[in-house]
Structure 1
């Protein structure tokens, strides 16, 4: 084992030298500007109570599911909840996966066949990249949000063509021009897949996401919705046609060969959807606007984003990590995002705005960043 241990040490040392080593944190600072819990559902007593009420309506609730859904892990309640969520987002059907990563890997490894074409935005999430790598399709990347470059790649498409974007990008927080992308897909006969992980709960009249808000749910082939962000739970669902759902049950390996989520998790997901229309989403958007206004007033180098994800750019891993360390010492849970996760020279503080962040906390955070930047 000495040879492999030496390999591990050398790879870790390279990360140390590049100032890009990752470590886990068990005791985060108290003021949360880091998590994806945009609506505060992960800490919501109302959600906890409603989840318990949902469970009390069921009989013989087990601690675990006991197997995959194709064996012993399926329930009528699970299927009813899938349909409830599909209806909420305007789709015909949906299928649960144990995480957003599993959903993207399962969907994209199962769909494209040899001779098919996958076209993704260059900033697409790692789970989508991994799903594409496991498929037999030919993959092209187009420049971020560049419609002309997308059109040029669509002209190269063969077989079934799949275009994959995020409605809100997880590192930059900006929006994909999904209306225009959908029109291009229709022009070239391509199938559009949209990951709504960071839009669900934040956009749309009741948090249905940007696909629904832009009335594209009848034109989009599939949407991936995750529950571990604004909805405060865990897991994900792929939304689309009834045929797509049945296809994934038969061909998506990350669905077939994994133990199903326990019923407690399904009850919590349903509870989040039952509560979503009681949240004043405008309150969150007002806090986002305040952060942006104060950042620009103080001449901070901020990414263009109207989502809950905001980025303050630094020119190196060292400077981004230094800024994060000072903020953490002041009680702000802010993390640095380092290359190679983001492009070299685009290292940043990734700041998430939540409905529970007070105006005073937002103001204090901006003032501290201004002080750090001199």
Structure 2
């Protein structure tokens, strides 16, 4: 990785892209310290200590939610809008047709996603400002609208930064903003660990155990993310006029973790919502029950969390990968899997293989997501939000960015050879 970065820095165009990406990170971190007017920060701190969903938001936003800055909602509305548009593309025929029209169709869907992001961001900002009415210094309609418009503008600006990084920088801009937000919490997390050791809350052995678990988790994430089941495919020879086409072998790479981190985000948001809402009604019987039996780390919470991750992993994989389309495309181009007839037998075989490896990926995601609970039990280190979900996002984004850097360098080497 270090060698790749050093070689990329020697190329002027790649160096300019890296510098542009770092400058956008600097803008993001400056905005993370610009506060929303009329907000009491002490109330926000209390809510962060009581709600798992707010803690998750604070991780994604890189600490902006705790400061309640203009970037407090981070890029979450854009992610939600993108996922919803991706699901609607499968359901609505007109959107599906747009997706198949190439670059122009994708540009149109991107435009719809931007508008949808603004709508979702404003709705979320209104709900957030009203739900945090105890934190609003002057609870009037004008104050709520001011907070909502400020948060919406911050999200739209972040969306613009992400698109500029994708266009003029290195990697996927939206993913890199989340990555930068999570990594920015690392120094404060290390300082918190040091403080725990200094005051005697934990000891050096527990910290070493925590570091070993984190290293093993990173290695496991890399192994699973890069894991593939390669199904061999042969193409028959075709004679067209005096030319012979086909006659070569390839493979279908089926990823173990086809859904990525999307199931974890879905499950975290859905499962943390009841507990967070119950925190607003501490005196009610339902609120007390959720706080007692459905709190983060409880058996019910962990069990439902794992089941939701399994469900969303299969659901999102089924949405994004269609074995029938793969089998039809192979049949059209004269491809076949050795020992299987083209068409339905091929689709059934791919579906069966995909179901088996998706189970492995889903179980891995569930284990990684429940990792903070086990870490707290083993080491006694609490209030560390840099858990399995954050590691999943960081490692995945880092791998994708390094692959893009390597492909850019390889393309330039090929250009030099052709010249």
Which has the larger share of helix? 2
Task: Answer whether TM exceeds 0.5 for this pair.
Answer: no
TM range (shorter): under 0.3
Q: Kindly name which structure, 1 or 2, has the bigger radius of gyration based on alpha carbons.
A: 2
Query: With structure 2 as the length reference, what TM-score do the two structures score?
Result: 0.24
- Higher RCO (Cα < 8 Å, 6 or more apart): 1
Query: With structure 1 as the length reference, what TM-score do the two structures score?
Result: 0.27
Which has the larger share of strand? 1
